[in-house]
Amino acid sequence: EDQVTQSPEALRLQEGESSSLNCSYTVSGLRGLFWYRQDPGKGPEFLFTLYSAGEEKEKERLKATLTKKESFLHITAPKPEDSATYLCAVLTDSWGKFQFGAGTQVVVTP
């Protein structure tokens, strides 16, 4: 059965303190790995898609990387506005079914 596991469950950072979030996956056929950001009371908001091992994507203070078994979301010099839950999802079916991890809740304090 396809599985997506995110760690840590929660992360508290000081402003400017860089860190990484992990998403490990076991799927029969990966068609894409997606990172979403979710603010309280809102739906997930798309950040990145990665398709093959070795691929990297960057957006402002966020950088996502992909290996054959896991993905990392690096947060460089975070700001309080980066506080959110970060969700990892894998696409495993041709019609677009996503399996999500439980998320990492990130809190950045000034």
Strands 104-109, 10-14: pairing kind: parallel
Question: For 2, left (φ over 0), alpha (ψ -120 to 50), or beta?
Answer: beta
Q: Is residue 64 within a helix (H) or strand (E), and if so which, with residue range?
A: strand 62-66
Q: Is 43 in the site for other proteins (CB under 8 A)?
A: yes
Q: Is 24 in the site for other proteins (CB under 8 A)?
A: no
Minimum CB separation of residue 94 from other proteins in Å reads 6
Residues 63-102 that bind other proteins (CB under 8 A): 87, 89, 91, 94-102
Residue closer to other proteins by CB (options 43, 110) is 43
Residue closer to other proteins by CB (options 72, 100) is 100
Q: Is 22 in the site for other proteins (CB under 8 A)?
A: no
Minimum CB separation of residue 1 from other proteins in Å reads 12
Provide the token pair at 20: 């990484």
Is the bond into 78 cis (omega within 30 degrees of 0)? no
